[in-house]
Amino acid sequence: MNPITQETTPLLLDGEHVAQILGILMKAIKRLSADDLALIANGQAKLKVVVEGTSTKVVRPQPADSTNPALQALAVQLEQIVDREAALLLLNQDPRVKLKANLVSLARIFAINVSARDRRDVIEEKIVRSVVDSRVRSEIIRGMAGAPTVPN
């Protein structure tokens, strides 16, 4: 940077710099699991490079945002489920929420508050409680046809 004009000088990368950067990226990619690589390859996660000061930091895959059509479709599917166990099974087995971050994005679609310290099972429970349990309680109260009955 030129201190007088505050202009940055464009950096021309030579072959050596490109090779160093690619080497750093390859080391980071090799540390990822096969599942994470598959999610990146099919667009459900992103590989994010963050430059801090003079070092380059490669961050774990980030989920696609909450407008992700796959997560929106899963949200619609969850809204149609009337059974807690089926909803929990779907959340445990669906590849769209394999990453905890995608599960957090799904919770945000439903406007569910999730703490960064919440474990995966806690987030799943919050989603099921918010989506399935509240609807079932409402149907029982209103006495809708097909609603589960309260055991005596």
The model's confidence at residue 114, banded by pLDDT at 50, 70 and 90, is confident
Instruction: Name, of 11-15, 40-44, 122-126, 136-140, the range with top average pLDDT.
Output: 122-126
DSSP conformation class of 84 = H
The reported pLDDT for the residue numbered 95 is: 92
Mean pLDDT value across the chain: 78
Predicted TM-score of the model (pTM)? 0.50
Read off the pLDDT of residues 28-85 as tens digits, 9 standing for 90 and up: 888 888 888 888 888 888 877 776 665 545 445 454 455 688 999 999 999 888 888 9
CA distances from 23 to 15, 26, 75 (A): 12, 5, 39
* Burial group, residue 91, by CB count within 10 angstroms (0-12, 13-18, 19+): buried
Tokens (6 digits) for 28? 């980071």
* Helix runs in the chain, H state only: 15-30, 34-41, 69-80, 84-93, 100-109, 120-128, 134-142
- Selected residue with higher pLDDT from 132 and 93: 93
Measure the N-to-C terminal CA separation of the chain; round to a whole number of Å: 76
Residues 58/21, Cβ–Cβ less than 8 Å: no
Provide the sign of the torsion angle of the four alpha carbons 89, 92, 94, 97, taken in this order.
Answer: positive
